[in-house]
Amino acid sequence: MQTPWIPFIPPSASTLSGQVDALYFYLSGVTVFFTLLIAGVLVFFVIKYRRRSPFEIPRPIAGSHKLETLWSVIPFVIAMSMFGWGAQLYFQMYRPPQNAVEVYVVGKQWMWKIQHSTGQREINELHVPVGRKIKLIMTAEDTIHDFFVPAFRMKADVLPGRYTTQWFEATTPGTYHLFCAEYCGMNHSGMIGSVIVMQPSEFDNWLSGNAAQQSPAVAGQQLFQSLGCVSCHGANGEGGRGPALVGLFGRQVFLTNGQTLTADEAYVRESIENPQAKIVSGFGPIMPTFQGQVTPEQLIQIMSFIKSLQTTTSGSAPSGAPSAAGPSPKAQVPTAATASSPANKQ
Amino acid sequence: MKAIETFETPSAARVNYINAQYGLKSWLLTKDHKRIALLYLGSISFFFFIGGLYAMFIRLELLTPQGDLLSSTTYNKVFTQHGIIMIFFFLIPSIPATLGNFLVPLMIGAKDLAFPRINLLSWYIYLLGGIITIYALLAGGVDTGWTFYAPYSTTYSNSYVIAAGLGIFVSGFSSILTGLNFIVTIHTMRAPGMTWFRLPLFIWAHYATSLVMILGTPVVAITILLLAFERLTHVGIFDPATGGDPVLFQHLFWFYSHPAVYIMVLPSMGVVSELIANFSRKNIFGYTFVAFSSLAIAVFGFLVWGHHLFVASQSVYAGLVFSFLSFAVAIPSAIKVFNWTATLYKGSISYDTPMLYALGFIGLFTVGGMTGLFLAALAIDVHVSDTYFIVAHFHYIMVGGALFGYLGGLHYWWPKISGRMYPEGWGRFSALVIFVGFNLTFLPQFVAGYLGMPRRYHAYPPEFQVFNVLSSAGASILGFGLLVPLIYLVWSMRYGKRAEANPWHLPGLEWRTASPPPTENFLTTPIVTWEAYEFAPPEETRVVGTYKEEATLGDADVIINGKP
């Protein structure tokens, strides 16, 4: 993959990377133009108006409002074009499409633990197929990390106690760097890995070669039973003393305090770890906290189970259903219900 | 046009602030703003040297992709301490506490700052903060990065976080006191006739800087207290494991630390305004635009902290607002650059060392500012944040901007401060070396950053090596270039040619008193009847009544040698 000359941009391997490069080239062009313009004018003036006799006093010029307005307005207009373009692209980057395949990422000092929704686990490696939208749902076990793939031109911080997301659609097969980009302690520069982009057929081989471990949804269902959630929320999340969980994700939830919110990962996590924070209207504050009893990975599994309740009609058991659905498009998170959406910042 | 005249001082005025009193005590208990400026000059030079040593280790380590010179723990401490020392103990006090302390009263025609004792207190507080920080470094160091991000700093770091934080906390008060002193002095102690719009732009810049110091520094103090409190008691403030919010820390930290960038660069802009005007003998093109742009930067600077959090799980809508405001704050800076350039038009431009630094500043600040737009543009920031692109960008602002302004100012006012001229040839030579070395160090880092090399990496993939070798080569040139002024400035204090009161033939008030000035700055209160940068025609230039006949005497000589 190495080019013989020194490259100026990293390999481009996602649908958005070319767009980021285009904006980068635009800004680079403007920067080079203005830097050369100013340097050129500076050098020209410095030579042309050099001091010719030691005591000469040039005629003072007070200024020119016309000129000053001109060179306030022109930079402003150029700056706004950069702002608009950058913002539009940013919204694309942080608004995951609805039909993306979910992959779970947990960062810890100093490794990346990754699990596919079909159950395959990886460490410091992420295998993805070309042409499929992948949404990463990420959290950290200890301190803040950052999942950075230069070839995709994307990164997002991975925080303890929060779920952040990013999405991409790979375009070119190859092996690309994965870096931790938020300083996380001693072995920060060793918290690296690779993203391996494969053709869909190869990817399917890879999936089947990695005999599917238990899918997160199934593991979540087991946790749902072993932790005793079933006694209030029902064996299949149909509800009881606790609110029903079927179809929860993305749904509007009405709280006893009169507030309304859209259920997302952050809300569900909070309801497990600190159940008293937001009580669903019509229910009592009877749920005990599970803080410290479930690891971030187990939380992800429980959520995955709750999400799997979404697609099944109420009553039918979800066993195996989510893994059978596999990487096919699942409309599970209809809104931009990410950890960063304003709705969950209470 | 009026002639430049100096205020008559009797011949007793050959007693100046340096030889007015002798002995260590006369320095350590001085209330003279000029002496305090020299105390600061000595201490920040010391810290600059320490910070530079750390930089040297960073560049040596990064010569090779493997982490082979230092252990990763040591490397993490080295870059952390480089940042802490350079930012809190060199850049923030650099221009305000040395040049500002020396020149604010001189430029407005005052005898001293409004609160001379508080001024001395601020130096002691700075020193105390410095000593605590040095203790933290010697006791075992700190490895959190200069940004102290939680929960790493509150829960996971096994280093002297509280001691280092305490050093910064304490030294912050010296900043607050300096800012307070400047604001009161500028409001109340201007000489008769020195109206607001006759103030040199250096004063406007220091006024704006002081506002930021007073309003911003308390926030970082509170942040450090909360951090220490959580580290000691494990009460959940920032660590989610105990119910805290790690992003809250980043908001608080950058609410101070982004404006802090303007504490570093605004005074430098003030210096450059002086240099450009005075070395081209032209009044600043659009004085009011430049003066108010300093205030605009100080105010807008408080509203852009969120651009450090574009990838930190901040809401996309907040990102949108902060991106817009970050672009907006770029406009006053752009106005300054254009106005400086326009000032040169039809000027009488000299190529003295300070002017070389000023021209270098404009070029480097333009690159630094324009690359800031990349980071304000949301989608590009996502790719380049926390990479070497950022490292290159802020070094262009802090070294290319703040340090170049500081060095230019130090050379420009050196005759006034020391009473001696520095060797001009060496001055120009080192300015050129520093410019070349600086660009070679940091230009390649833009490329490495866009290619994806993350910052704070002890070891890195081999394809980035070529950029790091270039950087390290540039850093050695830069380091050499910075040693040269250190040597010749110290040398010139004893052997330099004696400076006249007004060696550059300029109208500013500070040039109308002796070099070095007497303790009370002006023996009679000056009355200002001229505008800022109103240059007098040559035939009317009467230079310095007071010190002409003293050009041969040796008083200053004796003092500088330290013997009465």
Give the per-residue pLDDT at A1: 44
Q: Hey, which residues 150-189 in chain A have their CB within 8 Å of chain B? A: 150-151, 153-157, 159-162, 164, 177, 179-189
Query: pLDDT tens-digit profile of A218-260?
Result: 888 888 888 888 888 888 888 888 888 888 888 888 888 888 8
B32 near B116, Cβ under 8 Å? Answer: yes
Residue among B306, B323, B200 at smallest CA distance from B253 = B306
DSSP state of A255: B
Q: Which residues contact B37 (CB under 8 A, 6 or more apart)?
A: B97, B98, B99, B101, B102, B417
Higher-pLDDT residue of B459 and A330 is: B459
3-class SS of residue A252: strand
Burial class (CB in 10 A: 0-12, 13-18, 19+), B491: middle
Say whether B450 and A160 touch across the interface (CB within 8 A): no
Say whether B156 and A34 touch across the interface (CB within 8 A): no
Query: pLDDT tens-digit profile of A125-166?
Result: 999 999 999 999 999 999 999 999 999 999 999 999 889 999
Query: pLDDT tens-digit profile of B220-271?
Result: 999 999 999 999 998 989 998 888 999 999 999 999 999 999 999 999 999 9
Give the per-residue pLDDT at B525: 84
Chain A residues touching B289 at Cβ < 8 A: 63, 68
Positions of CATH 1.10.760.10 in chain A: 216-344
DSSP B131-186: HHHHHHHHHT---STTTT-TTIIIII--S-HHHHHHHHHHHHHHHHHHHHHHHHHH
Give the per-residue pLDDT at B349: 93
Higher-pLDDT residue of A283 and B538 is: A283
Give the per-residue pLDDT at B500: 85
Say whether B280 and A27 touch across the interface (CB within 8 A): no
**Number of Cβ within a 10 Å radius of residue B538:** 12
Report how far apart, in Å, the C-alpha atoms of A321 and of each of A247, A299, A300, B281 are: 15, 19, 17, 81
Taken in order of first residue, the domains within chain B and their CATH numbers are: 11-560 (1.20.210.10)
pLDDT along chain B (564 residues), means of 10: 52 72 90 95 95 95 92 94 96 95 94 95 96 94 93 91 95 96 96 92 96 94 94 91 91 94 94 95 91 92 93 91 93 92 92 95 94 94 95 95 95 94 95 96 95 94 94 96 95 91 87 89 85 70 36 34 33
Say whether A340 and B313 touch across the interface (CB within 8 A): yes
Say whether A57 and B348 touch across the interface (CB within 8 A): yes
Q: Which residues contact A197 (CB under 8 A, 6 or more apart)?
A: A13, A128, A129, A130, A170, A172, A173, A174, A175, A176
Chain B CB within 8 Å of residue A142 CB: yes
Which residue has 């395959």 as its token pair?
Answer: A120
- Class for the domain spanning A9-46+63-213: mainly beta
DSSP state of B75: H
Residue A334, pLDDT above cutoff 60: no
Structure tokens at B270: 């003030």
In chain A, % of residues over pLDDT 90: 44
Q: Residue A50's closest chain B neighbor by CA?
A: B349
Q: Residue B541's closest chain A neighbor by CA?
A: A55
Query: pLDDT tens-digit profile of A88-131?
Result: 999 988 888 888 999 999 999 999 999 998 888 899 999 999 99
Dihedral pair phi/psi, residue A165, rounded to 5°: -130, 155
Q: Calculate Rg over the CA atoms of chain A.
A: 26
Give the per-residue pLDDT at A2: 47
Give the per-residue pLDDT at B537: 58
Give the per-residue pLDDT at B74: 94
Residue A65, pLDDT above cutoff 80: yes
Residue A328, pLDDT above cutoff 60: no
* Longest Cα separation, chain B: 76
What mean pLDDT comes out for the span A262-272?
A: 84
Continuous H helices in chain A: 17-48, 65-94, 200-209, 216-226, 230-233, 265-273, 296-311, 321-325
User: What is the Cα–Cα distance from B438 to B478, expressed in whole angstroms?
Assistant: 6
Give the per-residue pLDDT at B466: 94
Q: Residue B155's closest chain A neighbor by CA?
A: A143
Chain B CB within 8 Å of residue A79 CB: yes
Q: Calculate Rg over the CA atoms of chain B.
A: 23
Say whether B451 and A179 touch across the interface (CB within 8 A): no
Give the per-residue pLDDT at B54: 96
Find out whether the peptide bond into B151 is cis, omega within 30 degrees of 0. Answer: yes
Positions of CATH 2.60.40.420 in chain A: 9-46+63-213
Q: Residue A39's closest chain B neighbor by CA?
A: B363
User: What is the Cα–Cα distance from A252 to B498, expressed in whole angstroms?
Assistant: 80
Give the per-residue pLDDT at A5: 59
Count of CB contacts below 8 A, A vs B?
A: 302
Structure tokens at B89: 């103990």
Give the per-residue pLDDT at B189: 94
User: What is the Cα–Cα distance from A185 to B389, expressed in whole angstroms?
Assistant: 21
A323 near A215, Cβ under 8 Å? Answer: yes
Chain A residues touching B451 at Cβ < 8 A: 7-10, 150
Chain B CB within 8 Å of residue A335 CB: no
Alpha-carbon gap: B73 to the closest alpha carbon of chain A (Å): 5
Residue A34, pLDDT above cutoff 60: yes
**Fold of domain A216-344:** Cytochrome Bc1 Complex; Chain D, domain 2 (1.10.760)
Give the per-residue pLDDT at B562: 34
User: What is the Cα–Cα distance from A262 to A250, expressed in whole angstroms?
Assistant: 6
